Structure 1
Amino acid sequence: MTAPHSSREVRGLTSDELLALPAAIDLDTSNRALMIGRSTGYGLARQGKYPVRVLRLGNAYRVVTADLLKLLGLERHQDDGDQGGGGSERHDLAA
Structure 2
Amino acid sequence: MRVKDLLSLPPTIDLMTAASALGIGRTKAYELARKGEFPVHIVRVGDLYRVSTPDLLRVLDVNLSRD
Query: Shorter-normalised TM-score: what interval?
Result: over 0.9
SS in 2 for 1:30: helix
The structure whose RCO (Cα within 8 Å, separation 6+) is larger is 2
In the superposition, the TM-score normalised over structure 2's length comes to: 0.94
Taking the aligned partners of 1:64 and 1:26, their CA distance within structure 2 comes to 9
Paired with 1:61 and 1:45, the residues of 2 have a C-alpha distance of: 8
Q: Within the alignment, does 1:31 sit opposite 2:19 as a pair?
A: yes
- Cα offset, 1:77, TM superposition: 2.0
**54, 66, 73: which one aligns with 2:54:** 66
**Normalising by structure 1, what TM-score?**
0.67
Aligned with 1:28: secondary structure? Answer: helix
Gaps of 5+ in 2: none
Backbone CA RMSD of aligned residues: 1.3
Equivalent residue number for residue 57 of structure 1: 45
Structure whose CA Rg is larger? 1
Unaligned runs of 5+ in 1: 1-12, 80-95
The percent of aligned pairs where both chains have the same amino acid is 46
- Per-residue CA deviation, residues 67-94 of structure 1 (Å, 9 max, x unaligned), is 1000001132268xxxxxxxxxxxxxxx
